[in-house]
Amino acid sequence: MTESQPPRALRAAVDVVVLGAGPAGLVLGNLLLSAGIDCVVLERASRSHVLTRARAGFLAPNTARILERHGLADGLLRYGLRHGTCEFRTQEGRFRIDYGALGEAGPHHVYPQQNLVADLLRHYLHRGGRIHFDTEALAVHEADGPRPSVTTREPDGRPARWRARYVAGCDGRHGAARRSLPPGAVRRHHDHGVTWLGLLAQAPPSLDAVGYALHDRGFAGHMARTPEMTRYYLQWQRGTPADAWSEQRIWDELDVRMRAADHGPLRRGALLERGLFDLTCDVVEPLRYGSLLLAGDAASLLAPAAAKGANLAVLEAEILAGALAEALVRGDTGGLDGYSDRCLAHIWRAQEFTGWMTRLLHAAPGADGDGDGDRDGGGGSLFQAALRRSRIASLRTSSIHRDWFAENYVCV
Ligand code: APR
């Protein structure tokens, strides 16, 4: 601990301390309460920050099934928009894949993540759940023993210590769980070499599909959020500040890359948020260290190209809740022993498809390292660009490839 003040008296011990009130932590908290397990959620941010943070918004069919199974899908089913089509725009024209109706796939629900988090919090409180906002976990201690603890900085700035039987690290990539891993933990990391400028526009969607525009100036993406709000992405020069361009210049560039002149104008509006996303990914292996278990972004970070992060987080939370209930209610730790392998199989499948999708959408700088000086203006090599054209042609023409795409696009 770094504080000079001594920790407060130990907080009463609980069965599970959950770090983080994102989708992973709040689904887990709800399911633990339903199983009669005592838990507390500790969240670094304020309640209002958690409830207004715009993040992902595409929830896969399996995610909706999990939420429905546990009585957590009311808002999603009532307000979420069904979405099953994506449109690719390339130099050769545009084509659509109705992925929601192909193979074993199904449509997404488009539902902003902050709305899902608000629903999960409402249910959690309704079920009698305890949550402490403005409470930052600093470290997890003694995870290799039967009584781990978490040190925190409380809202008044003073330190405290929470005891538990298990600690669930659902506190994202920069959280205390990851910082507390033992030296043997492995973090496998990959940088796709691409940066996105993410934009939240106060404007209705411009097409009734997810839009993926492949352009030699770089990728541009369009994703509906609500009838009034749309998310856009622009492949961005890494290192350039998010506010380097005016709104006018951003919309003009989106028009060019989305080929608005050929396919219709984009509906413009104020850009409410701008954020930079380096398309990096990682996986922590294993996901269990004694009494400390990782889920969601704390377990694995995915590039946003295939919108899998929140879906994996919900799936892992359900698996973890089942395993903790078995251990705490019936004394059977088999589920916890298998937790890591079970989740890693889903995580690596999602990483594989996300990597494929990322290579499809971008000519990443230096991606092939062919060293022949064969470079185009978009920062990728002509060799890579040709491979991409071939992949796109296959996607456009092969029904098997489209089924494969559809199933992987929505599966978690
Ligand atoms: N102590 C307590 N809480 C913390 C700490 C900490 N030290 N560090 C981070 N947190 C909180 C964050 O404020 C956040 O509310 O943990 C929460 C983690 O939530 P998310 O980042 O939403 O992660 P997760 O629940 O794993 O959801 C996964 O949803 O939109 C996607 O990109 C997102 O892929 C991610 C996914």
pLDDT at 366: 45
1, 297, 302, 315: residue to mutate for ligand 1 pocket, most atoms within 8 A of CB: 297
With a 6 A CB cut-off, is 112 part of the ligand 1 pocket? no
Q: How far is the CA of 219 from the centre of ligand 1 (A)?
A: 27
Q: How far is the CA of 325 from the centre of ligand 1 (A)?
A: 23
Q: How far is the CA of 239 from the centre of ligand 1 (A)?
A: 25
**Domain boundary assignment for the chain:** 14-57+112-185+286-355, 190-279
pLDDT at 374: 47
Domain 14-57+112-185+286-355, second-level architecture? 3-Layer(bba) Sandwich (3.50)
> Tens digit of pLDDT per residue, the chain (412 long)?
333 444 555 666 899 999 999 999 999 999 999 999 999 999 999 999 999 887 778 999 999 999 999 999 999 999 998 999 999 999 999 999 999 999 888 999 999 999 999 999 999 999 999 999 999 999 999 999 889 999 999 999 999 999 999 999 999 999 999 999 998 899 999 999 999 999 999 999 999 999 999 998 999 999 988 889 999 999 999 999 999 999 999 999 999 999 999 999 999 999 999 999 999 999 999 999 999 999 999 999 999 888 899 999 999 999 999 999 999 999 999 999 999 999 999 999 999 999 999 999 987 554 443 444 444 444 457 887 888 889 999 999 999 999 999 999 999 8
Q: How far is the CA of 172 from the centre of ligand 1 (A)?
A: 4
With a 6 A CB cut-off, is 224 part of the ligand 1 pocket? no
Give, using CA atoms, the residue closest to atom 34 of ligand 1: 309
User: Which residues sit opposite 221 in a β-bridge?
Assistant: 212, 233
Atom of ligand 1 nearest to the CA of 138: 7
pLDDT at 380: 54
With a 6 A CB cut-off, is 72 part of the ligand 1 pocket? no
pLDDT at 181: 95
Give, using CA atoms, the residue closest to atom 32 of ligand 1: 309
Give, using CA atoms, the residue closest to atom 21 of ligand 1: 172
pLDDT at 8: 59
Q: How far is the CA of 45 from the centre of ligand 1 (A)?
A: 10
Q: How far apart are CA 355 and CA 302, in angstroms?
A: 9
Q: How far is the CA of 82 from the centre of ligand 1 (A)?
A: 26
pLDDT at 73: 98
Q: What is the 3-state secondary structure (H, E, C) of the chain?
A: CCCCCCCCCCEEEEEEEEECCCHHHHHHHHHHHHCCCCEEEECCCCHHHHHHCCCCCEECHHHHHHHHHCCCCHHHHHHCEEECCEEEEECCEEEEECHHHCCCCCCEEECCHHHHHHHHHHHHHHCCCEEECCCEEEEEECCCCCCCEEEEECCCCCEEEEEEEEEEECCCCCCHHHHCCCCCCEEEEEEEEEEEEEEEEECCCCCCCEEEECCCCCCEEEEECCCCCEEEEEEECCCCCCCCCCHHHHHHHHHHHCCHHHHCCCCCCEEEEEEEEEEEEEEEECCEECCEEECHHHCEECCHHHCCHHHHHHHHHHHHHHHHHHHHHHCCCHHHHHHHHHHHHHHHHHHHHHHHHHHHHCCCCCCCCCCCCCECCCCCEHHHHHHHHHHHHHHHHCHHHHHHHHHHHHCC
pLDDT at 371: 40
Atom of ligand 1 nearest to the CA of 309: 34
With a 6 A CB cut-off, is 410 part of the ligand 1 pocket? no
Atom of ligand 1 nearest to the CA of 296: 26
43, 49, 119, 180: residue to mutate for ligand 1 pocket, most atoms within 8 A of CB: 43
What kind of fold does domain 190-279 have according to CATH?
A: D-Amino Acid Oxidase; Chain A, domain 2 (3.30.9)
pLDDT at 105: 82
Atom of ligand 1 nearest to the CA of 301: 34
pLDDT at 10: 63
Atom of ligand 1 nearest to the CA of 302: 34
With a 6 A CB cut-off, is 84 part of the ligand 1 pocket? no
171, 281, 283, 287: residue to mutate for ligand 1 pocket, most atoms within 8 A of CB: 171
